[in-house]
Amino acid sequence: NSFVTRTNTCGELRSAHVGQKVTLYGWVQYQRQGLFLVLRDFQGLTQIIIPQDEAHSHVKELLSNAPVESVVRVTGIVSPRPLGQENPKMPTGDIEVKAETAEILNSCKKLPFEIKDFIKKSEALRMQYRYLDLRSFQLQSNLRLRSRMVMRMREYLCNLHGFVDVETPTLFKRTPGGAKEFLVPSREAGKFYSLPQSPQQFKQLLMVGGLDRYFQVARCYRDEGSRPDRQPEFTQIDIEMSFVDQAGIQRLIEGLLQHSWPEERALIKTPFPSMTYEEALAEYGTDKPDTRFGMKILDISDVLRGSDIHFVQNALSYPHGSIRAICIPQGVRYLTNKDLELLKESAKSQFNQEIVEIIRRPDGSLKSLLTKFLGEKEQSELIQALNMQEDDVLLLAAGEHKQVCCTLGTLRLLSANLLEAAGLALRDPTAFHFLWVVDFPLFVPKAENPTELESAHHPFTAAHPSDASLLYSDPTKVRSQHYDLVLNGNEVGGGSIRIHSAEQQRFVLEEVLKEDSKVLSHLIEALEFGAPPHGGIALGLDRLISLIVDAPSIRDVIAFPKSFRGRDLMGNAPDYVTPEELEPYHIQVSWPLEEKEAKKN
501-535 pLDDT tens trace: 999 999 999 999 999 999 899 999 999 999 999 99
Residue range 233-249, pLDDT digits in tens: 999 999 999 999 999 99
Mean pLDDT of 203-228: 91
| Residue 257 shares a structural domain with residue 347 | no
3-class DSSP state for residue 295? coil
Give dist(CA 194, CA 173) in Å, integer: 5
In order of 308, 362, 379, 496, 599, the CA distances from 370 in angstroms are 10, 18, 10, 46, 64
- Residues 262, 330, single domain; the answer is no
**What is the distance between the alpha carbons of residues 245 and 241, in angstroms, rounded to a whole number?**
9
Q: Are 180 and 223 in contact (CB under 8 A)?
A: yes
CA distance 79 to 99: 10
Q: Are strands 366-367 and 356-360 parallel, antiparallel or unpaired?
A: antiparallel
d(CA 300, CA 358): 13
Residue 316 placed within a domain: yes
User: Number of folded domains in the chain?
Assistant: 3
Confidence band for 596, pLDDT divided at 50, 70 and 90: low
pLDDT at 387 over 70: yes
Does 148 lie in the same domain as 265?
A: yes
**Among 128, 111, 229, which residue's Cα sits nearest to residue 573?**
128
pLDDT-derived band at 375 (thresholds 50, 70, 90) equals confident
- Determine, yes or no, domain membership for 532: yes
- Residue 366 placed within a domain: yes
Look at residues 556, 572, 593 and tell me which one is the last residue of a structural domain: 556
- DSSP-derived letter for residue 264 is T
pLDDT at res. 175? 78
Handedness of CA 70, 72, 76, 77 (dihedral sign): positive
User: How much is the pLDDT for 591?
Assistant: 80
- CA trace torsion 307, 312, 315, 320 (10° rounding): -70
Sequence-ordered alpha helix ranges (H) in 497-538: 502-507, 521-527
CA distance 74 to 103: 7
Q: Which of 161-165, 341-345, 369-373 has the lowest mean pLDDT?
A: 369-373
pLDDT of residue 254: 98
**Predicted confidence (pLDDT) per residue in 262-273, tens digit:** 999 999 999 999
CB-neighbour burial class of residue 209 (10 A; exposed 0-12, middle 13-18, buried 19+): middle
Last residue of a domain, one of 62, 87, 106: 106
Domain boundary among 518, 535, 556: 556
Mean pLDDT of the 579-599 span: 81
Alpha-carbon distance 474 to 472, whole Å? 6
- Position 177 scores a pLDDT of 66
pLDDT at 53: 94
Q: Are 234 and 220 spatial neighbours (Cβ–Cβ below 8 Å)? A: yes
The answer to whether position 112 is within a domain reads no
With b meaning 16 or more CB within 10 Å and e meaning fewer, what string describes 439-460? Answer: bbbbbeeeeeeeeebbbbbbbb
> Do 360 and 411 sit in the same domain of this protein?
yes
Taking all residues of the chain, what is their mean pLDDT, rounded to a whole number? 94
Per-residue pLDDT, 531? 97
152-177, pLDDT tens digit by residue?
999 999 999 999 999 999 999 987 76
**Residue 487: enclosing H or E segment and its boundaries?**
strand 482-487
Tell me the pLDDT tens digit for each residue of 445-499.
Answer: 998 999 999 999 999 999 999 999 999 999 999 999 999 999 999 999 999 999 9
The answer on 444 and 352 residing in a single domain is no
Distance CA 529, CA 500 (A): 10
Q: Could you give the angle at which helices 337-351 and 401-421 cross, rounded to 10 degrees?
A: 150
Per-residue pLDDT, 507: 97
What is the mean predicted confidence (pLDDT) over 323-336? 96
Task: Examine residue 471 and state whether it is found in any structural domain, yes or no.
Answer: yes
* Global confidence as pTM: 0.93
Whether 411 contacts 346, CB under 8 Å: yes
Say whether both 162 and 197 belong to one domain.
yes
Q: What is the pLDDT of residues 279-322, one digit of tens each?
A: 999 999 999 999 999 999 999 999 999 888 989 999 999 889 99
pLDDT of 103 strictly over 80: yes
Identify whether the C-beta of residue 535 lies closer than 8 Å to the C-beta of residue 497: yes
H/E stretch holding 357? strand 356-360
Same domain, 46 and 95: yes
Residue 339 lies in a domain: yes
In the prediction, which pLDDT does 564 show? 85
Nearest to 543 by CA among 248, 215, 278, 288: 288
Q: Tell me whether strands 482-487 and 490-497 are parallel, antiparallel or unpaired.
A: antiparallel
Return the H-helix or E-strand segment holding 246: helix 246-260
CATH number at residue 62: 2.40.50.140
Give yes or no for a contact between 73 and 23, defined as CB atoms under 8 angstroms apart.
yes
Both 217 and 153 in a single domain? yes
Q: How far apart are alpha carbons 515 and 506 in whole angstroms?
A: 9
Comparing 477 with 593, the larger pLDDT belongs to: 477
pLDDT tens column, 173-196: 987 766 789 999 999 999 999 999
**Same domain membership, residue 271 and residue 148:** yes
Return d(Cα 236, Cα 155) in angstroms, integer: 16
pLDDT in tens, 65-86: 999 999 999 999 999 999 999 9
* 148 and 270 share one domain: yes
What is the reported pLDDT for 229?
Answer: 75
CATH number, domain with residue 450: 3.30.930.10
Eight-class DSSP state of 168 = P
Residue 118 clears pLDDT 70, i.e. is over it? no
Distance between CA atoms of residues 151 and 168, nearest Å: 19
Q: What pLDDT does 459 receive?
A: 94
So what's the pLDDT on residue 598? Answer: 62
In this structure, are 409 and 445 located in the same domain? no
Write the single-letter amino acid at 255. Answer: G
Same structural domain for residues 85 and 161? no
* pLDDT at residue 337 in the model: 95
Domain assignment of residue 598, yes or no = no
| Residue 235: its H or E element | strand 233-242
The CATH number covering residue 349 comes to 3.30.1360.30
Per DSSP, the three-state class of 222 is coil
d(CA 294, CA 413): 11
Has residue 315 been placed in a domain?
A: yes
For residue 198, the model assigns a pLDDT of 93
Domain membership of residue 163 as a residue range: 141-275+434-556
